[in-house]
Every structure is written in C-alpha cells, then in structure tokens.
C-alpha cells in the first residue's frame, strides 16, 4: 500500500492505530517534539521506526516505542498536477536537456516518497524558473536509472541520440546523469563523438533537491549557461568545485573522476586544473594550454565490452588472468603500482595473454602522475612482454577507450595505434 509504503509489523500497526498515513504532516512528541511529513521507508527497513521529513529538508527517524504522542496536522489532497504552459523567447538560444536518471532533474513526491523525473519544459520551468530566462529548453527522458545500472549499451544509445542532433539548431546539449558512473559515460561520449560541433555537458547532483544543501539547481543552471556561453566544444562534466554555494566548474570528460562519496565537490580533474570556472554568471577558461585538437566530426559509435580492468595487488592470483583469456576477452587494462608495475608472479599469464593476441595496456593506480616503465628493470621486462604504457590516462578512461577502440578496429595493431592516439585530451603530451 503506498499510504504505508515500507512500513510493517510494529510501525505499521502504530501508524494505523494513530490514523496517520505517508504524506501526512504530523507532530510527534517523544523526548523532543518534531513536526514534519511522514515519509515512506525502504523495503528492508526494521519495523521499529517511523521517518519524518522536517521543514529543514532533512529526515529524522523516531523509535515507535519512545513516542508519547502523535497528532495529525494536515493531510494532502491527491490532485493531479497540470503544468502551466511556458512561453518561448525567440531571442534565447535552444538547449536540449536529456535525462538518464539520477535525482538532479527530478522531484520528490512527499506522498509516496518516490523520486520522479521532472523533465518536461513546464515542470522544469516551475522547479527552476531561472532556466527559462537563459534558454528555451527541450527536455526528453532517455532512461530513468540509477547510474550504477547504466551499462555500455546505454552509452551507445546516448551517443546515437546525440549524433542525430549534430546538425540541429541547439546551442548545446545537457545530460542529467547519476554521479556514480558519470565519468565512464563522459569518457565514452568523448571518444565516440570526437569533434561534435556543439558542447555536451553531463551534470549531476550529490544531494537531492529536497535538501537545503542541494547542489542540483545551481549545477543544472551552470551547465545550461556553460553550453550556451562557454564558446567551446567537447564533452564536459559540470559539478560543484568546493563546499561553497557559488563556484561550479567544468571538467574535461576524459580527465575527471569521482573522488568522494558524498561531498558536493566530489569530482576532480586529475593531473590538472578544471577546464572552466563558472562563477557569478561568468565563465572563465581555466586551463592554460589548448586542450582540444580541432577535428572534424567523425562519429565512431561502436564498442566491444570484452575488456578487463585488472587492479594489481600483492597476492593477486594470476589464474584470474588465465580465466580472462579463456573467457574470450580481447584486451586487458592493468592498473599497476607506481610507475606501472605488476609482480613477477604475473609474468607467465601476461605472456600467455600476449600470445593469444590480447591488447595489454598499463595505467597506474596512483591518483596522479604518469606511467614510466623504463625506469626500473621490472617495467622494462613488462615492455618486452608487450604491455603498452598509457601515459597518464586514468584507468577508468583507459578501460572505456579500450572498449571503444576494440569496437572500431579490426586488429590488435590497429587498436594499439588508436589507444596511443590523443583523441579527446585523455592523456597529456
């Protein structure tokens, strides 16, 4: 039942006896008194607590056995929202907004607790009215998935959709995306759509729109402004830069990773500064060197997922490499130690992989710096075995690029050449 969703046992009986339901505004007295909206609970919750959404936007769990008094303050009437029409402004540029899921462009239904896409133009205008002042937004939902559920086939569908817009009148394209795997999607689009004639910005939110500390609105507004005013092309990730409420930055899609589980400033450019700063309606180019080679648009949308990412560690069982070979994989990206090393216990399996014709690439598990396999004897041994150093490419980016390169070439030598070609600033010169 949605009116008691997630409640069972003791907490369900308590709510039924108290004649309050999910979505009701109630006052609860225990040692302290709380007023808020009764929220649903997730399916595996215990039956000892109820959850209130406070006016501050935060949730509080209250143990049923300690509640002295509960009062119904108000009950929401179930009415269907009818979004008001918005007028387009012919003087403003057009921006396409695509949703793949996540919470950034969604709304919370306090009656059910569900998060639903708010992505038609009218709903967006109501939720974030600033958008209508800077662009005419065309909005479309591609997927409604948590980003950990997005797979390489989703990347390809996004790329195919974007490819149809390469000759459109849009000034830029914004993709709302869950943050957990946003760097993978950004990397694939960077390679598959190299030379795309208008900017593409992926944007996410670390904190949902119902929380006072939410970064959703500012990130989305900044992303739309960036694709209109940034005077650039390429694929970028737009997120908060620090814990302040005003500075948002634009990261290159192949040089960014999520470095923190929950901070608004979770995303960092690895090995350099963010590409652009977005502050007080101003967009400032931040990288001192030219970061994109000027290329004609030549989409290559295929990919092949038969690529393994192997993080070497002491005690790694080389039989796992043998299993990868036997399973039909065509490439291995090693995340080695230091300058690009793996232990000598791996050597026989590496030789077997090379003999079977797999592409073998080396990255480093260090956060910063570049692979340099000629410094130590062990690195030189690995070079002799056919492992290809991948400069300062981020391991996740190297994985995605290898999937893309494998899908768009016909031989290991051809794949190697593509892996070493700088396509979208994935490594430094």
Q: pLDDT of 339-373, one tens digit each?
A: 999 999 999 999 999 999 999 999 999 999 999 99
Residue pair 42/59 in contact (Cβ under 8 Å)? The answer is no
pLDDT at position 119 is 62
Of 57-71, 296-310, 375-389, 409-423, the range with the lowest mean pLDDT is 57-71
* pLDDT exceeds 90 at position 72: yes
pLDDT greater at residue 175 or residue 263: 175
pLDDT at position 143 is 87
DSSP code at position 253:
T
* pLDDT exceeds 80 at position 118: no
**pLDDT tens per residue across span 6-15:** 888 999 999 9
* pLDDT exceeds 60 at position 325: yes
Query: Where do runs of H (alpha helix) occur along 47-105?
Result: none
Euclidean distance between CA atoms 198 and 227, whole angstroms: 8
**pLDDT tens per residue across span 401-423:** 999 999 999 999 999 999 999 99
**pLDDT > 70 fraction of the chain, expressed in percent and rounded:** 87
pLDDT at position 141 is 87
The mean predicted confidence, pLDDT, of the chain is 89
C-alpha pair distances (Å), 232 with each of 101, 140, 160 = 26, 24, 21
* pLDDT exceeds 80 at position 120: no
Q: Is 180 a catalytic residue?
A: yes
What mean pLDDT do residues 308-328 have? 97
**pLDDT category of residue 243 using cuts at 50, 70 and 90:** confident
List 25, 100, 176, 179, catalytic entry: 179
pLDDT greater at residue 314 or residue 56: 314
pLDDT at position 265 is 85
**Distant-in-sequence, close-in-space partners of 410: CB < 8 Å, separation ≥ 6:** none
Euclidean distance between CA atoms 399 and 405, whole angstroms: 10
Give the alpha-carbon dihedral of 54, 56, 61, 62, to 10 degrees.
Answer: -50
List 258, 268, 401, 416, catalytic entry: 258
pLDDT at position 83 is 53
Euclidean distance between CA atoms 47 and 69, whole angstroms: 18
**pLDDT category of residue 115 using cuts at 50, 70 and 90:** low
List 163, 180, 322, 381, catalytic entry: 180
pLDDT at position 166 is 96
**pLDDT category of residue 81 using cuts at 50, 70 and 90:** low
**pLDDT > 90 fraction of the chain, expressed in percent and rounded:** 66
* pLDDT exceeds 90 at position 79: no
Find, among 180, 188, 181, the residue nearest to 162 by Cα. Answer: 188
Residue pair 283/276 in contact (Cβ under 8 Å)? The answer is yes
Q: Is 46 a catalytic residue?
A: no
DSSP β-ladder status, 136-141 and 94-99: parallel
C-alpha pair distances (Å), 362 with each of 251, 311, 320, 399 = 24, 10, 17, 10
Residue 237 forms beta bridges with which residues?
202, 251
Euclidean distance between CA atoms 142 and 123, whole angstroms: 17
* pLDDT exceeds 60 at position 311: yes
Domains and CATH numbers, the chain: 2-74 (2.30.30.520), 94-285 (3.40.50.1170), 307-420 (3.40.50.40)
C-alpha pair distances (Å), 378 with each of 3, 137, 322, 330, 384 = 64, 55, 21, 24, 10
pLDDT at position 117 is 62
Residue pair 74/118 in contact (Cβ under 8 Å)? The answer is no
pLDDT greater at residue 242 or residue 151: 151
pLDDT at position 420 is 97
List 25, 103, 181, 269, catalytic entry: 103
Q: Is 210 a catalytic residue?
A: no
pLDDT at position 242 is 80
pLDDT at position 97 is 92
DSSP code at position 163:
H
């Amino acid at each position: 039942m949605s009116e008691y969703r997630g409640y069972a046992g003791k907490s369900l009986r308590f709510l039924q006896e108290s004649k309050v339901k999910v979505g009701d505004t109630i006052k609860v007295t225990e040692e302290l008194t709380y007023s808020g909206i009764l929220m649903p609970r997730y399916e595996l919750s215990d039956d000892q607590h109820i959850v209130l959404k406070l006016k501050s936007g935060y949730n509080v769990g209250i143990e049923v056995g300690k509640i002295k008094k509960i009062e119904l303050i108000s009950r929401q009437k179930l009415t269907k929202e009818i979004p008001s029409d918005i007028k387009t402004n012919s003087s403003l540029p057009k921006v396409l907004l695509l949703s793949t899921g996540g919470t950034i462009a969604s709304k919370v239904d306090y009656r059910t607790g569900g998060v639903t896409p708010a992505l038609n133009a009218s709903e967006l205008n109501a939720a974030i009215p600033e958008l209508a002042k800077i662009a005419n937004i065309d909005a479309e939902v591609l997927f409604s998935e948590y980003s950990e559920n997005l797979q390489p086939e989703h990347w390809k569908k996004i790329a195919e959709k974007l490819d149809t817009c390469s000759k459109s009148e849009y000034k830029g394209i914004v993709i709302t995306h869950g943050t957990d795997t946003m760097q993978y999607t950004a990397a694939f689009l960077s390679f598959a759509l190299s030379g795309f004639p208008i900017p593409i910005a992926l944007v996410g939110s670390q904190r949902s729109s119902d929380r006072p500390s939410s970064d959703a609105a500012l990130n989305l507004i900044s992303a739309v402004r960036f694709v209109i005013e940034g005077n650039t092309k390429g694929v970028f990730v737009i997120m908060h830069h620090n814990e302040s409420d005003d500075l948002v930055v634009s990261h290159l899609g192949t040089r960014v990773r999520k470095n923190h589980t929950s901070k608004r400033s979770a995303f960092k450019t690895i090995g350099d500064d963010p590409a652009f700063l977005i502050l007080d309606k101003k967009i400032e180019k931040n990288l001192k060197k030219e970061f994109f080679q000027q290329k004609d648009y030549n989409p290559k949308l295929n990919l092949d997922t038969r690529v393994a990412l192997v993080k070497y560690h002491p005690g790694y069982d080389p039989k796992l490499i043998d299993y990868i070979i036997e399973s039909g994989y065509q490439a291995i990206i090693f995340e080695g130690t230091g300058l690009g090393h793996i232990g000598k216990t791996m050597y026989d399996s590496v030789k077997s992989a090379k003999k079977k014709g797999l592409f073998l690439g080396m990255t480093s598990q260090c956060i910063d710096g570049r692979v340099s396999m000629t410094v130590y004897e062990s690195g030189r041994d690995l070079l002799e075995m056919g492992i290809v150093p991948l400069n300062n490419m981020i391991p996740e980016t190297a994985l995605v690029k290898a999937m893309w390169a494998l899908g768009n070439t016909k031989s290991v030598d051809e794949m190697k050449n593509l892996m070493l070609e700088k396509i979208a600033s994935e490594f430094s010169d």
